[in-house]
Amino acid sequence: MSTHDPRFFTFRQLMELDACTRCGECVAWCPTFAEKPELDAITPLRKIEAVRRFVYQQNGLWARLFRSRPPDRAALQDHSAGTYDCTLCGRCGTVCPVHIDTRHLWIAMRETMVRQGVYPGSLDHLREMVTTHYNISGDPNENRLIWAENLPEVPEGVGGKERAEVVYFVGCVASFYPRSYSVPQSLVEVMERAGTDYMTLGGEEWCCGFPLIIAGMGEAAVESVYHNVEAVRRTGATRLVATCPSCYHTWKHDYPRIIGEPLGFEVLHATELLEGIVGDLPLKPLEQTVTYHDPCDLGRTSGIYDAPRNVVRAIPGVTLVEMEHHHEYALCCGGGGDVEMADKTLTEAVAQRRIVQARETGAKVLLSACQQCERTLMGAARREKVRVRVMDVVELVARQMAAESAD
Ligand code: SF4
Ligand code: SF4
């Protein structure tokens, strides 16, 4: 098989390669190209052009009649840089007039780059961590519940149950990065107050596989996928809830495709769970203007826009205002697509643009529903000296609940 054999792409994707009209509409919406205009290869139309050329060079009529030419190494390297300097935010797909499913196309392109060994070296480390330690940080996986240690008392649902109605899938970022510990702590406090029958998987939770799937290394994630599905099925749970939108998206959309059958339980993002219970929680009013950042994997790629906003509006006194770009046009935080591993300064530049949009609303609180967004936006607020508090929606709910109880 040639390195750009058409069989590496789905029939739809091959059609999409031809369907691109080169109108350039996507270029103006690309957050990474805006910050790195010297790398033309980032733009959707250049990525599509490059792959069309590679496929033709190796499989076109000329190649069949005479000789297939391997792609030029410099061209491959340029294409790889453009493919990995992409947050996979999917904005280009939203504005594309011919509805190219760009995000899946970019992932397929990354897979071809991995096959040819032209990808950021840091991704080898990521693959090593996930396949040997079952998490992205390389910490011992049995430490996944370390965030629970400074809860006033560790509830039975966190580490003491073998069966429950709801499994809370915590995710690698919230499990191993101390700045995110308060997200799982908050969700647990809320579920305790709401009387939810929940449990976590502890060390039996393995990385959901998302970072490898989007790196173009999906084959290395398959073991984790099967392990996680079996671990949840053993609990008899009817619902799985995730605070991380990438875990959520992977469970909901990729897992059934990978295992080739329905999961047998419902998959919810934490904001969907909260939407159903927030009305029954005692919440202290908050007379404040807040804004909400749509995480790409929750909004554009999963279609969940209302649940987080409904939860925020359920807090008495809160005024929710939108940033210049929101819902399906929301600007990415810069933290997606494994870009941080390829070019950290690019992530920071995109995050800076987003934090400026938040500042322009006048909001004192910038909410999101993703630990990665929270982390990148917090960093941008600190660097840009923007006086806005960055929080997850679930953290705000837990804070108002605690404040009401303290009164
Ligand atoms: S918007 Fe769509 S059709 Fe237009 S250049 Fe971009 S990918 Fe091609
Ligand atoms: S997915 Fe986002 S970052 Fe990637 S090319 Fe499209 S708009 Fe640019």
Fold of the 122-276 domain: Rossmann fold (3.40.50)
Report the distance separating Cα 1 and Cα 6, nearest Å.
Answer: 9
User: How does residue 266 score in pLDDT terms, banded at 50, 70 and 90?
Assistant: very high
Please give the share of the chain, as a percent, with pLDDT higher than 70: 95
Show the beta-strand stretches assigned E in 34-102: none
In this predicted structure, which of 60-74, 216-230, 351-365 has the lowest mean pLDDT?
60-74
Going by C-alpha positions, the residue among 400, 375, 404 that lies closest to residue 390 is 375
The Å distance, Cα 45 to ligand 1 centre, comes to 6
Of 25, 26, 87, the one to substitute when testing ligand 2's pocket (max ligand atoms within 8 A of C-beta) is 87
**Are 122-276 and 281-406 in the same CATH fold?**
yes
Band of residue 158 on the pLDDT scale cut at 50, 70, 90: very high
Q: For the chain, what is the mean pLDDT?
A: 93
Between 52 and 323, where is the model more confident? Answer: 323
Query: What is the arithmetic mean of pLDDT over 211-220?
Result: 96
Q: What digits encode the pLDDT tens for the residues 5-23?
A: 556 788 898 889 889 999 9
Given a cut of 80, whether residue 63 has pLDDT beyond it is no
How remote is the CA of residue 104 from the centroid of ligand 1, in Å? 14
Residue boundaries of the structural domains of the chain: 6-115, 122-276, 281-406
Q: What is the pLDDT of residue 53?
A: 85
Q: Please report the pLDDT score of residue 1 as a whole number.
A: 46
Nearest CA to ligand 1 atom 6: 26
Instruction: Determine the distance separating the centroid of ligand 1 and the alpha carbon of 216, expressed in angstroms.
Output: 22
If you measure from the C-alpha of residue 14 to the centroid of ligand 1, how many angstroms do you get, rounded to a whole number?
14
Which is the CATH superfamily of the domain at 6-115? Alpha-helical ferredoxin (1.10.1060.10)
pLDDT band at 46 (very low <50, low <70, confident <90, very high): very high
Nearest CA to ligand 2 atom 3: 86
Structure-model confidence comparison of residues 45 and 58, the more confident one: 45
From the list 372, 376, 378, the residue with the least C-alpha distance to 173 is 372
Checking if the pLDDT of 359 tops 90, the result is yes
Task: Write out pLDDT tens, residues 363-392.
Answer: 999 999 999 999 999 999 999 999 999 999
Its pTM stands at: 0.93
- With a cut of 50, say whether residue 322 has pLDDT above it: yes
Distances (CA, A) of 46 to 22, 27, 31: 9, 10, 15
Per-residue pLDDT, averaged over 147-166, amounts to 93
Q: Specify the pLDDT at position 14.
A: 86
Please give the CATH architecture assigned to the domain spanning 281-406: 3-Layer(aba) Sandwich (3.40)
pLDDT digits (tens, 9 = 90+) for 242-253: 999 999 999 999
Return the residue whose CA atom lies nearest to atom 4 of ligand 2: 86
- Ligand 1 geometric centre to CA of 23 (Å): 5
What single string gives the DSSP state of each residue in 315-374?
A: STT-EEE--SS-GGGPPP-S--TTHHHH-HHHHHHHHHHHHHHHHHHT-SEEEES-HHHH
CA angle 72–214–85, rounded 5-degree value: 55
Pocket flag, ligand 2, residue 191 (CB < 6 Å): no
